[in-house]
């Protein structure tokens, strides 16, 4: 399954490049792949047999409102609440109960969660760096046929600074990409 997710960006590269041509000029210096743009997140989804995988990549600014190490009590609380929300993927991605999906693996990574060497002396050097949050979720679904849409309403409600999610998905029926916004948060497949 990991192979499938790794191949996903290449399978949809023509779509991504076509979309990049339509992007505003402020993104041209970064290119379209891997650009760190506040308000924009990326979600890759793959359904293979009974296995559903979701990978979320987003600037930390979209999730917690900052990208520096949490030092104040308020920042630490915000970070802890965001982490707790991100570790509840059933609600975050509105996975239908009828699909019988259970989480088999989930992992959150971010320098803000202490996943890289956090040397407090380097705080000033890291001040201008972009922090990302990466979530990987794997489910085993008893009735995968029920999965025919991805509803990101709750993700937008939980993290209102997220304005756009670039979704790429691969299912047995199709491969597609979509740009999802709070006003239209559902991708049907």
What's the chain's average pLDDT?
A: 82
Residue pair 83/75 in contact (Cβ under 8 Å)? The answer is no
What does the angle CA 9 – CA 115 – CA 29 come to, to the nearest 5 degrees?
Answer: 45
Residue 3: predicted pLDDT: 54
Distance CA 88, CA 76 (A): 19
Which whole number is the average pLDDT over 109-133?
64
pLDDT value at 66 more than 70: yes
| 176: in domain | yes
Residue 119 counted as domain residue? no
Is residue 120 assigned to a domain?
A: no
- Which pLDDT value is given to residue 146? 94
Is 82 part of a structural domain of the chain? yes
Lowest-pLDDT choice from 21-25, 47-51, 81-85, 91-95 = 21-25
Is the distance from CB of 92 to CB of 158 less than 8 angstroms?
yes
pLDDT above 50 (res 126): no
Domain hosting residue 75, numbered range: 2-22+36-113+129-188
Residue with tokens 């949809």: 12
Q: Is residue 12 part of a domain?
A: yes
> ∠ at Cα 134 (132, 138), nearest 5°?
175
- Strand 186-188 with 149-151, pairing: antiparallel
The neighbour count for residue 111, using CB atoms within 10 Å, is: 19
- Count how many domains the chain has: 1
**Residue 179 counted as domain residue:** yes
Task: Please give the structure tokens belonging to residue 74.
Answer: 């308020």
Q: Token pair 């890289």 is at which residue? A: 116
pLDDT (tens digit per residue) in 51-62: 999 999 999 999
Examine residue 123 and state whether it is found in any structural domain, yes or no: no
> Does an H or E element contain 84, and which?
helix 73-86
Work out whether strand 40-48 and strand 164-170 pair parallel, antiparallel, or are unpaired: parallel
Q: How many CB atoms lie within 10 A of CB 100?
A: 15
* Rg of the chain (C-alpha set): 17
124 within some domain: no
Which residues in 139-151 are b (16+ Cβ under 10 Å) and which e? bebeebeebeebe
Q: What is the structure's pLDDT at 120?
A: 40
Checking if the pLDDT of 75 tops 80, the result is yes
Q: In what order do the strands lie in the sheet with 132-141?
A: 101-109, 132-141, 51-59, 40-48, 164-170, 175-180
Bigger pLDDT: 185 vs 123: 185
Confidence (pLDDT) at 26: 36
91, pLDDT greater than 50 = yes
What predicted TM-score, i.e. pTM, was given to this entire model? 0.77
């Amino acid at each position: 399954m990991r192979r499938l997710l790794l191949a996903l960006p290449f399978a949809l590269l023509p779509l991504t490049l076509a979309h990049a041509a339509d992007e505003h000029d402020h993104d041209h210096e970064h290119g379209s792949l891997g650009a760190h743009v506040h308000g924009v997140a990326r979600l890759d989804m793959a359904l293979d047999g009974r296995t559903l995988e979701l990978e979320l990549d987003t600037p930390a600014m979209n999730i917690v409102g900052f990208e520096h190490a949490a030092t104040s009590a308020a920042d630490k609380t915000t970070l802890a609440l965001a982490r707790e929300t991100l570790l509840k993927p059933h609600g975050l991605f509105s996975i239908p109960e009828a699909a019988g999906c259970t989480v088999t693996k989930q992992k959150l990574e971010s320098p803000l969660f202490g996943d890289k060497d956090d040397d407090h002396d380097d705080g000033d050097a890291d001040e201008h760096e972009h922090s990302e949050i990466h979530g990987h979720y794997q489910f085993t679904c008893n009735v995968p046929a029920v999965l025919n849409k991805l509803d990101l309403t709750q993700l937008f409600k939980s993290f209102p600074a997220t304005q756009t999610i670039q979704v790429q998905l691969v299912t047995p029926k199709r491969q597609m990409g979509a740009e999802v916004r709070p006003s239209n948060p559902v991708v049907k497949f």
